[in-house]
Amino acid sequence: MTRFPSAKHLASWTGVCPGHHESAGRAKSTKVRPGNCYLKGALGLAAFGASRIKDTFLQARYRRLTSRRGQMRALVAVEHSILSTVWHMLTQDTRFHDLGGDYYTTHNPERALRRITRQANALGLTVRFEPIEAA
């Protein structure tokens, strides 16, 4: 892994790095970059499997992105996450630690409350949050 100075360099070499190709307000091609086809294929299978395992960070990431971007783009984003995780594990000599399926709600609870409130308002409902009393 010393060949790649950062996880972004590895993702670019593999061809799973995100791109923003826009000029004068018009979106250009959104195809995946060319890269190592064998590694990209293996990452695709790993991402597909990881998105189906319950209560994991990668499944939560896949579900969040699928609603906005679609299934294929969400899979490429999960591939990027897996590759970035592998780079960090190999360069820092650490073990894998899953953040959990509830990472997005526990990491920033105010954001989760705003999202729930916005969804309820879109349905024409009002929401009032009260803390649960300790037993």
Q: What is the pLDDT of residues 7-29, one digit of tens each?
A: 988 888 888 887 667 777 777 76
The Cα 12–Cα 2 span in angstroms is 15
- Using 50, 70 and 90 to split pLDDT, how confident is the model at 45? very high
Upper half-sphere CA count for residue 27 (Cβ side, 13 Å): 5
Residue 20 three-state SS:
coil
124 shares a domain with 71: no
Q: Which whole number is the average pLDDT over 89-96? A: 91
Please check whether residues 51 and 113 belong to one and the same domain. no
State whether 63 and 76 are in the same domain. Answer: yes
Same domain? For 108 and 92 the reply is: no
Query: Is the predicted pLDDT of residue 30 greater than 70, yes or no?
Result: no
Same domain, 96 and 107: no
- Pseudo-torsion of CA 67, 71, 73, 75, nearest 10°? 110
Tally of domains in the chain: 2
Query: Rounded CA gap, 128 and 116, in Å?
Result: 11
